[in-house]
Amino acid sequence: MLAQLTLVLGGAASGKSAFAERLCCSADRRRLYIATAEAQDPEMASKIETHQARRGIDWACIEAPLELATALTKINPGQVVLVDCATMWLANQMAESGVVGENMTELLTALHACASPVIMVSNELGQGVVPENALARRFRQAHGEMNQKLAAQADLVVTVIAGLPLVLKGTLPGGAL
């Protein structure tokens, strides 16, 4: 049985999204993908296409680059929801308004109230070098705080390194690997 909220962390190209997809597929539920990225350049468009091809046609999809909390409030029971990813949602929030406090509170409330289990993917940015500019440092700080809040609320937290999951909190459901 899936946790109500699962947080899957990892670095870039760590395998976190593929692991989160497998976790979703281990549940006998309809699968819903909530996308937070937008194809604003050829590289991102290619990455989105790769993710779509890997998932196949059995997934419903909602695009919510900014209104993630609103999307989560419209979820029906009987689904499993994969949000990919919190990092892009935060970047979109900061680009749109420069602040995230109220939006983060709304997101946490929506995750808590969601009618179906949610698997949230997020990058781990805190292990790199200190960014040289103030905007990047502010984003890294906000991102670390977001991940801490998500992890505190999550029933299951998994980090993925080189495609291998490591459980930090909770227990993986049987057959999820």
- The alpha-helical segments, DSSP class H, found in 13-133 are 16-25, 42-55, 68-73, 86-97, 101-113
Q: What phi, psi does 63 have (nearest 5°)? A: -95, 120
The answer to the question of residue 87 being in a domain is yes
- In sequence order, the 6+-apart residues with CB closer than 8 A to the CB of 66 are 89, 92, 93, 96
Average confidence score pLDDT of the chain:
91
Q: Is residue 174 included in any domain, yes or no?
A: no
Written as six digits, the tokens of 120 are 């949230």
Catalytic choice (47, 51, 140, 149): 51
Q: For 136-163, how does the pLDDT look when each residue is reduced to its tens digit (9 = 90+)? A: 999 999 999 999 999 999 999 999 999 9
Q: Is residue 106 part of a domain?
A: yes
- What's the pTM value of the predicted model, to 2 decimals? 0.92
Is there a domain that residue 177 lies in? Answer: no
Highest mean pLDDT out of 68-82, 96-110, 127-141: 68-82
User: Which residue range forms the structural domain that includes residue 142?
Assistant: 5-169
Q: How far is CA 108 from CA 13, 104, 114, in A?
A: 26, 6, 10
Q: Give the pairing type, strands 5-10 and 156-161.
A: parallel
**Cα(162)–Cα(89) distance, rounded to whole angstroms?**
24
Structurally, the chain folds into a number of domains equal to 1
Is 143 known to be catalytic? Answer: no
Q: Is residue 25 part of a domain?
A: yes
- Domain-located, residue 176: no
> 35-91, pLDDT tens digit by residue?
998 877 888 777 778 877 777 788 999 999 999 999 999 999 999 999 999 999 999
The CATH number that applies at residue 145 is: 3.40.50.300
Within-domain flag for 96: yes
Is residue 92 one of the residues assigned to a domain? Answer: yes
